[in-house]
Amino acid sequence: MERKNAPRVLISNMPSGTSLYEESKIKVAEVPRPSVAMATLAACCLEKGQDVKLLDLSLAQFEGKIPGEVMTEVLNSYKPDFVCFSFTTPLFDECCEYAKFVREKLPDATLVAGGVHPTIYPEEVLEKSESDIAVMAEGDFILPKIVEANNNPEKLKKIEGIAFKDKKGKIIKTPRGKGVENMDDLPLPAWNLLPVKKYTMPKIMTKKNPVGSMETSRGCLAGCTYCNKSVFGRKWGGKSAKRVVDELEYMKKCGFNEVHVYDDMFTTDLDRAKDICDLIIKRGLKISWKLDCGIRIDSVEPELYKKLKAAGCYGVGYGLESGSQEILDTIHKGLNIKEAHNAIKWANEAGIETVGFFMFGLPGETIDTMEETIKLATQLKLDYAKVTLATPFPGTALYAELQAKGRIKSQDWSAYNFHTPSKVYDHDNLDWDIMQKYYEKFYKKYYFRPSYLIRRLIRDIKTGNLFTDMYYAFKTFI
């Protein structure tokens, strides 16, 4: 319901966020997900009496619509005062096109850019795109302040964590600020502003549709050299168990039948993780959910898996990265390979599906270490295994290291995705054709093992998913 006389805020995303994976082996699993970031930003603005509309352009594109036409219709009908969008490094060129498009349609609208890339390169965003303001931190409580400031330079200067141009074109940067200090202070995401029923996933990814997205914590204490999450600070904060379960109940009322959690470190506080499960069970909340990521193999125990299973969680994902302990130590992963075997074994014993994420091309990678990774993946009884090629995103220690060595070949940010890193940098030891060969080899070795095929066949017959799995296997490998 539109709020009369309130500033109108349109929050949207880039239409091609999921197409980053369109040439990868996991393309069948890449579908639009409801953005918890967009819904939370909207809720923060609504709390301040501002009028908000959400537009998921990736969903529009997935449905076969032309994003530009959808955007034009919304701009013409809603006439927002502020147009806000968030993006990662590979989508910078698209951000520039998007901002130019909006500026032509609505010359007087204020364009606000947020996300990892504006946090790292606010000057570039303001100089090369039509963006008026760049947010250099978590934007939840910052965006409503920007709207309240209504382009008043003196008021904008008092907002921590932003960069903007003054009337003379000079870029003003304010202090970074602290971000969200207490996750329970965040309002419940405004899911009512998105078409919940449209967020369906293939059976290979879910048990029940529609599927919602959730964060129970933010941040990561690890120092992995390939990760750019540290640009927001190396810290961790979690919602209380009560808030998490309240939010799950709320999502069910909003129409979601399953929830996927996208934390960086769900089990940082193991007691909190177990308390969440206990409270779900105590309330008798029946909802299907899984942890797509955020489970470290050094922060689990058999009791946790049993509680997860009893609370309705049916799947967990692990960032395992490499089968070489030397490489894990080099990238400061802080894990011991031996821990992986127990972590997967305990999950299997509890009846929880497992996914392992691996990476080729990390510093020190050789043919031998790639073989070690394939060996580890095939030794672990994972239900699914995925491998990507390492990409040195700006803001990471990996990028700084390669730049210092003169190995960064391009700052064409559109090339910084998971299937064309060969355009970005030269690896110390390996040619790209060798890494591509091992990328293909990983999937063939893992999924075409007789032991895996037999185990999968037995499971599919029991669950009735045989033809579904055959379909997705065909889509992936043929």
Neighbours of 72 (CB within 10 A): 14
pTM attached to this predicted model: 0.90
Instruction: Output the CA–CA distances (angstroms, integers) from residue 130 to 10, 113, 126, 133, 290, in the order listed.
Output: 16, 10, 7, 9, 39
pLDDT tens by residue, 157-182: 999 999 999 888 899 999 987 789 99
Going edge to edge, which strands form the sheet with 162-165? 51-55, 8-12, 82-86, 110-114, 133-135, 162-165, 171-173
403-441 confidence digits (pLDDT tens): 999 999 999 998 998 777 889 999 999 999 999 999 999
**Site of tokens 């054709």:** 433
Spell 183-215 as b/e; 16+ CB within 10 A means b. Answer: beebeebbbebbebeebebebbbbbebbbbbbb
- Structural domains for the chain: 8-173 (3.40.50.280), 200-447 (3.20.20.70)
User: Which is nearest to 122 in space by CA: 68, 190, 171?
Assistant: 171
Tokens for 100, please give them.
């130019």
What is the C-alpha to C-alpha distance for residues 403 and 405, in angstroms, rounded to an integer?
Answer: 5
In a 10 Å sphere around its CB, with 0-12 CB exposed, 13-18 middle and 19+ buried, how is residue 169 labelled?
exposed
Would you write out the chain's pLDDT as a tens digit for each of its 478 residues? Answer: 556 679 999 999 988 744 433 443 434 446 889 999 999 999 999 999 999 999 999 998 888 899 999 999 999 999 999 999 999 999 999 999 999 999 999 999 999 999 999 999 999 999 999 999 999 989 999 999 999 999 999 999 999 999 999 888 899 999 987 789 999 999 999 999 999 999 998 887 889 999 999 999 998 888 899 988 766 767 899 999 999 999 999 999 999 999 999 999 999 999 999 999 999 999 999 999 999 988 899 999 999 999 999 999 999 999 999 999 999 999 999 999 999 999 999 999 999 999 999 999 999 999 999 999 999 999 999 999 999 999 999 999 999 999 999 999 999 998 998 777 889 999 999 999 999 999 999 999 999 999 888 887 776 666 656 445 554 454 554 4
